[in-house]
């Protein structure tokens, strides 16, 4: 195990963390601001990826597909908001759970009916399809750097939006006391719609950006959903900063856990059991982390103020 490898694994961990943030950003916004448990977030992520694949087939160009898919994802999200979600604001969390669960069932299967059950692929844009040499024999796709950049841009953009703009102020106020804000003359329904649409677009954006390195298949959002919830819960629901920190933390813990758990365990046990116990612990690692964090900080690491 060389120092260079450790450094590379740290880089991998941070990159995975930024990926996780990109995935979780939209969820924490919607959940935090609107107190709305959106289990359908995973399928919105999936729909974004599928739309991109479909538009790529039409345009043959990644960026055109990206733009078109984002727009379509936004429209789709707004449609869902209008039809279903709008009636669920202020209702019990359980009702939200069941309704969004129903949407998951519907969309996972609808997607399969439309696009088939076989996994699909979205090619990277040519301009970013190169690689840089990370170490002897290992290349690092430029696209992953693009994803990191996108994630950081989203983080910065959201932070500025929420903390330093009027819209962001309205959003935070609406989260704290919707009725008061409405009484002050702000159309709270329209505000929530904007926030939700934005969250949907973020979900779709994450799906599209990640599709070139992952497979696009029905049900791809289900495991993502759990990961996203773990991130926002550890970070503190509603906190962009919390989600960012939590995502990086989880990315590092998960990646370093997978890379070195076996080596660490080998110090205390025989190689053969270490090889299988290591990954078992690695898969539990993020849940253990969440349990530990919540034990000491029941509202996450950076709970959003006013909650």
Partner 1 sequence: MAGAIFATPSAAGRLRSRRDMVVPALIFLVLVLVPAFAAATAQKFLIDLTARIMIFAVAAVALDLVVGYGGMISFGHAAFIGLGAYAVGILSAEGVGDALIALPVAILAATLFAWITGIVCLGTKGAYFIMITLAFGQMIYFVATSLAPYGGDNGLTIDARDTVAGLPLFKSDTNFYYVILLSLLATYAFCRALVASRFGRVLRGAKDNASRMATIGFDVRRYQLVGYVISGGLTGLSGFLLANSTEFVSPAYMSWQRSGELIVMIILGGIGTLDGAIIGAAAYLVAEEWLSTLTENWQVIFGPVLVLIVLFARGGLIGLCVRFWRRRGAFS
Partner 2 sequence: MITRKPAIVVAAALVAIFGLRAGVAQAQDNLKVGLIATLSGPPAVLGQQMRNGFMLAVKTLGGKLGGRTVDVSVADDELKPDQAVIKVKEFIDRDKVDFVVGPIFSNILQAIEKPVTEANVILISPNAGTSNFAGKDCNQNLFVVSYQNDQVHEVLGQYAQDSGYKKVVIIVPNYQAGKDAAAGFKHKFSGEITDEIYVPLGQLDYSAELSKIAAEKPDAIFAFLPGGMGVNFVKQYRQAGLADKIPFLSAFTVDESTLPAQQDAALGMYGGANWAPNLDNPQNKAFVDAYLKAYNAVPATYAFQAYDAALLIDAAVRELKGDLSNKDALRAALKKADFKSLRGAFKFNNNHYPIQDFYLVKVVKRPDGKYETEIAKKIFSNFGDSYAKDCAMK
Residue ranges in contact with partner 2 by CB under 8 A: 2, 4-5, 8-9, 12-13, 15-16, 19, 108-109, 112, 116-121, 131, 134-141, 143-144, 212-220, 223, 255-256, 258-259, 275-276, 278-280, 282-283
2 binds, among partner 1, partner 2, none (CB under 5 to 8 A by kind): partner 2
Task: Please calculate the CA angle 274-234-76 and round it to the nearest 5 degrees.
Answer: 110
Cα atoms in the Cβ-side hemisphere of radius 13 Å centred on 191: 23
Q: Site mask, partner 1, residues 88-107, x = CB under 8 A? A: x--xxxxx-xxx-xxxxxxx
Q: How far is the CB of 118 from partner 1 (least distance, A)?
A: 16
Q: If binding is defined by CB under 8 A, does position 176 make contact with partner 1? A: no
Cα gap 79→86, rounded to integer Å: 10
CA distances from 84 to 122, 208, 246, 256 (A): 30, 24, 31, 41
Token pair for 239: 């906190």
Enclosing H/E stretch for 60: none
b/e burial code for range 76-110 (CB count within 10 A of at least 16 → b): bbbebbeeebeebbeeeeeebeebbeebbeebbee
Q: Site mask, partner 1, residues 255-294, x = CB under 8 A? A: ---------------------xx--x--xx--xx-xx--x
Q: If binding is defined by CB under 8 A, does position 188 make contact with partner 1? A: no
94/133 with CB nearer partner 1: 94
Cα gap 211→49, rounded to integer Å: 6
Q: If binding is defined by CB under 8 A, does position 82 make contact with partner 1? A: no
Q: According to CB under 8 A, which residues from 102 to 141 bind partner 1? A: 102-110, 112-113
E-strand stretches of the chain:
131-135, 138-141
Question: Which residues contact residue 138 at a Cβ distance below 8 angstroms, ignoring those fewer than 6 apart?
Answer: 8
Chain centroid offset of residue 133 CA: 28
12 binds, among partner 1, partner 2, none (CB under 5 to 8 A by kind): partner 2
The burial class, CB within 10 Å (0-12 / 13-18 / 19+), for 40 is: buried
202 binds, among partner 1, partner 2, none (CB under 5 to 8 A by kind): none
Site size with partner 1, rule: CB under 8 A: 45
Q: How far is the CB of 210 from partner 2 (least distance, A)?
A: 8
Residues of this chain that bind partner 1 (CB under 8 A)? 31, 37, 84, 87-88, 91-95, 97-99, 101-110, 112-113, 222, 226, 229-230, 233, 237, 276-277, 280, 283-284, 287-288, 290-291, 294-295, 298-300
């Amino acid at each position: 195990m060389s120092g260079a490898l450790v450094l590379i694994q740290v880089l991998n961990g941070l990159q995975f963390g930024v990926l996780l943030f990109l995935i979780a950003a939209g969820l924490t916004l919607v959940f935090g601001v609107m107190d709305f448990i959106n289990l359908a977030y995973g399928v919105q992520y999936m729909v974004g990826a599928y739309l991109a694949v479909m538009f790529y087939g039409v345009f043959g160009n990644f960026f055109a597909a990206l733009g078109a898919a984002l727009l379509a994802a936004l429209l789709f999200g707004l449609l869902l908001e209008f039809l279903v979600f709008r009636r669920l604001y202020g209702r019990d969390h359980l009702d939200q759970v069941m309704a969004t669960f129903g949407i998951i069932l519907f969309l996972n299967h609808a997607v399969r009916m439309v696009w088939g059950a076989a996994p699909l692929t979205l090619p990277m844009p040519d301009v970013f399809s190169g690689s840089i040499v990370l170490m002897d024999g290992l290349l690092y796709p430029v696209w992953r750097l693009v994803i990191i950049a996108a994630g950081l841009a989203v983080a910065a953009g959201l932070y500025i939006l929420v903390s330093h703009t009027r819209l962001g102020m309205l959003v935070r106020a609406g989260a704290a006391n919707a009725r008061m804000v409405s009484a002050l003359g702000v159309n709270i329904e329209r505000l929530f719609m904007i926030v939700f649409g934005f969250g949907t677009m973020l979900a779709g954006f994450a799906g599209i950006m990640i599709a070139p390195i992952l497979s696009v298949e029905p049900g791809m959002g289900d495991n993502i959903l759990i990961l996203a919830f773990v991130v926002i819960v550890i970070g503190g629901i509603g906190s962009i900063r919390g989600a960012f920190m939590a995502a990086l933390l989880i990315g590092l813990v998960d990646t370093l856990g997978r890379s070195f758990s076996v080596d660490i365990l080998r110090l205390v046990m025989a190689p053969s059991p270490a090889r299988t116990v290591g990954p078992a612990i690695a898969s539990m690692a993020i849940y253990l982390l969440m349990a530990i964090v919540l034990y000491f900080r029941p509202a996450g690491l950076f709970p959003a103020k006013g909650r």
